[in-house]
Structure 1
Amino acid sequence: MVLASPKPMRNETILPNDLIPIVDLKSERSEVIKQIVKASEEYGFFKVINHGISDGTIEKMEEAGFSFFAKPMSQKKQAAPAYGCKNIGFNGDIGEVEYLLLNANTSSIAQISKTISNDDPHSNFRCRVSEYTEAVKEVACEILELMAEGLGVPDTKVFSSLIKDIDSDSVLRLNHYPPTLNKDKSHSNNVGFGEHSDPQILTILRSNDVSGLQISLQHGLWIPVNPDPEALCINIGDVLEVMTNGRFVSVRHRAMTNSYKSRMSMAYFGAPPLNASIVAPPVLVTPTRPSLFRPFTWADYKKATYSLRLGDTRIQLFRANIA
């Protein structure tokens, strides 16, 4: 969702995938909290298993997504501006991707379903998207409340309440990366969606059984994230980095294509209402760790985000001037 410029690739080193933390949400609560906080501070990324979303809910959502992307281009274009292909954002960024971007609320899903599905008012597409979106939102809120508890924030709903708000700006994005059909396998991995961080609070990502996602730990160092049918991927977003006063890090990541099989990812971006003030809870601002960011609204940050290119640094625009 956020933004990378078509600039030359860096000299990169691919690191082993086994570095990625995996958190079992059904483990002992204090241990779960400890693991989530540690992963959020060190990586800005982790996987969760035993998350409570049924296989059926996930499978039906994937079926609905692949069914949409299998439609003729003329039909998919009827869903514009929710549907897009190649162009990412508004600043000339491109990728080997087509996508469907939906506001994550029941009325918006119902409205767009009329355009992209020829079914009756009880459209399978609408029902499947609504069911999946509500399920991932519940997981996102659970994780955010565990995070707040782990950080010692008295109001453990301080982060999750922004997503639960009726005016939440959360979205669901389906990214489809068709096979590149490259005969030369040595050059089959192309950038499908360039390096970026997510601007929202938290991202919950699920993909089919095709690899492609990579996260960046340091400049030039990348970790491939292998697909796992049992797990959901959790990305810390820019807003959560601000609201934890820099304790958590917003992970930079990218998606690569391959030559042999389509990859589809389903990303839920949990976001606050547009008018929400983005500030860290008082307990996370101390004399020894003053506020790293000046206050702003999600509308301010969203506007700044969409004015830049994919990969450009946005969060630094809101850094506080600390003497």
Structure 2
Amino acid sequence: MVLASTNPINIERILVTDLPIVDLKAEKSVVKKLIVKACEEYGFFKVINHGITNETIAKMEESSFDFFAKPVIQKKQASPAYGCRNIGFNGDMGEVEYLMLNATTPSIAHLSDTISNDFRCSVSAYTEAVKKLACEILEVMAEGLGVPDRSFFSSLINHIDSDSILRLNHYPPIINNNKDRDKSSSYNYTKVGFGEHSDPQILTILRSNDVGGLQISPEDGVWIPVTPDPSAFCVNVGDVLEVMTNGRFVSVRHRAMTNSYKSRMSMVYFGAPPMNACIVAPPVLVTPQRPSLFRPFTWADYKKATYSLRLGDTRINLFRTIPHAH
């Protein structure tokens, strides 16, 4: 977790109820309250009735599995977008195979040169859909927080120079030598696929297949599994949004686990601002009772800090004006 939330997290409630689920077609006033509450208390929530078609999702997932099923020599032709490496923090090691793409139209247009035209079409449709969803959610957040300009957050993702990315993470199953194992039983999550971290961007939109593995840590030392739901998207607050809400919303640490039976595929959209965007909270969220917790910085500054530290390090504290309470 990047900051201590002003609203204490009820660990027992999370353990028994999973993440909050927000129906985006519900009454708008209800949606605003649910999203704000979830971002303050959990940093994560799920959305249903999100408007993204099953066809768009299925084509993206199929294209992703098709790509990762190729021989390594063919996948490496997509480098530097393609990679397979160990990632970890404090011994929390894991291995993930990934494809990381700039989520902009010009960048996606070049995909057919290195992968295939069908893949490019799938990525283009999916990216446009999740970007629209991210902006819709960010505008609801702004309204829920009382920010006069409802596009205060979403305009950064909509900007032509947005640094948003789409990352496809493939977690192959752990090799299981027990051939008599009952495959109908719960998966055995014993290995870290992607180490402990928080997302540095504004907002993350995650869709995984029907295989679990995502775990969140609302408090140090506590890891809570998130139940997979192919009909829903998982949404989480990024470090930049925590800063832009002056700590009202909390960016929570999380990790991904592999299992002993089935491959897990995560399709992750990271909504990010332009490199030169100044990251600062709107005046309405800075008051005498709640002074600014952070000094202004650019996304380029923060991105540089992100890559200069180990995965899992608390990068955002480098920009605090008020010491972090322990």
Aligned to 2:123: 129
| SS of equivalent to 1:221 | coil
Report the TM-score, using the length of structure 2 for normalisation. Answer: 0.89
Distance 1:19 1:134 in 2: 29
Aligned to 1:222: 223
Distance 1:242 1:257 in 2: 31
Aligned counterparts, 1:135-146, within 5 A: 135-146=129-140
Residues 133, 268 of structure 1: 8 Å contact kept = yes
| SS of equivalent to 1:142 | helix
Return the letter of the residue paired with 2:320.
R
Aligned to 2:21: 22
Aligned to 2:52: 53
Aligned to 2:259: 258
Return the letter of the residue paired with 2:230.
P
Return the letter of the residue paired with 1:178.
P
Aligned to 1:319: 320
Structure 1 246/188 Cα, relative in aligned 2: closer, same or farther at 3 Å?
A: closer
Distance 2:309 2:159 in 1: 28
Q: How far apart are residue 187 of structure 1 and its match?
A: 7.0
Aligned to 1:176: 170
Residues 87, 95 of structure 2: 8 Å contact kept = no
Distance 1:106 1:225 in 2: 32
Q: Which moved more, 1:176-185 or 1:263-272?
A: 176-185
How big is each residue's C-alpha offset from its partner over 1:291-323, in whole Å with a ceiling of 9 and x where there is no partner?
Answer: 00000000000000011111111010100147x
How big is each residue's C-alpha offset from its partner over 1:192-227, in whole Å with a ceiling of 9 and x where there is no partner?
Answer: 001100000000000001110011111111221111
Q: How far apart are residue 182 of structure 1 and its match?
A: 2.8
Aligned to 1:69: 68
Q: Which moved more, 1:252-261 or 1:94-103?
A: 94-103
Aligned to 1:82: 81
Distance 1:300 1:93 in 2: 27
Structure 1 residue ranges (4+ consecutive) displaced by more than 6 angstroms after TM superposition:
184-187
Distance 1:244 1:314 in 2: 17
Q: How far apart are residue 188 of structure 1 and its match?
A: 5.3
Residues 243, 281 of structure 1: 8 Å contact kept = yes
Distance 2:104 2:51 in 1: 21
Q: How many residues align?
A: 304
Q: How far apart are residue 93 of structure 1 and its match?
A: 8.8
Aligned to 1:157: 151
Aligned to 1:37: 36
Q: CA RMSD in A?
A: 2.1
Q: How far apart are residue 113 of structure 1 and its match?
A: 2.9
Distance 1:247 1:131 in 2: 33
Residues 172, 268 of structure 1: 8 Å contact kept = yes
Residues 246, 281 of structure 2: 8 Å contact kept = yes
How big is each residue's C-alpha offset from its partner over 1:78-120, in whole Å with a ceiling of 9 and x where there is no partner?
Answer: 111100002449xx99622100000001110121331122xxx
Aligned to 2:268: 267
Structure 1 gaps, min length 5: 1-12, 118-122
Structure 1 93/108 Cα, relative in aligned 2: closer, same or farther at 3 Å?
A: farther
Structure 1 83/281 Cα, relative in aligned 2: closer, same or farther at 3 Å?
A: same
Distance 1:259 1:247 in 2: 38
How big is each residue's C-alpha offset from its partner over 1:169-192, in whole Å with a ceiling of 9 and x where there is no partner?
Answer: 000000000011133689752000
Percent identity, aligned pairs only, is 76
| SS of equivalent to 2:31 | helix
Return the letter of the residue paired with 2:195.
G
Structure 2 gaps, min length 5: 1-11, 182-186
Report the TM-score, using the length of structure 1 for normalisation. Answer: 0.90
Return the letter of the residue paired with 2:36.
V
Aligned to 1:283: 284
Residues 94, 192 of structure 2: 8 Å contact kept = yes
Distance 1:215 1:188 in 2: 14
Distance 1:34 1:16 in 2: 22
Return the letter of the residue paired with 1:158.
F
Distance 2:310 2:60 in 1: 30
Residues 93, 192 of structure 2: 8 Å contact kept = no
Distance 1:64 1:264 in 2: 11
Structure 1 161/106 Cα, relative in aligned 2: closer, same or farther at 3 Å?
A: same
| SS of equivalent to 1:218 | coil
Distance 2:167 2:113 in 1: 18
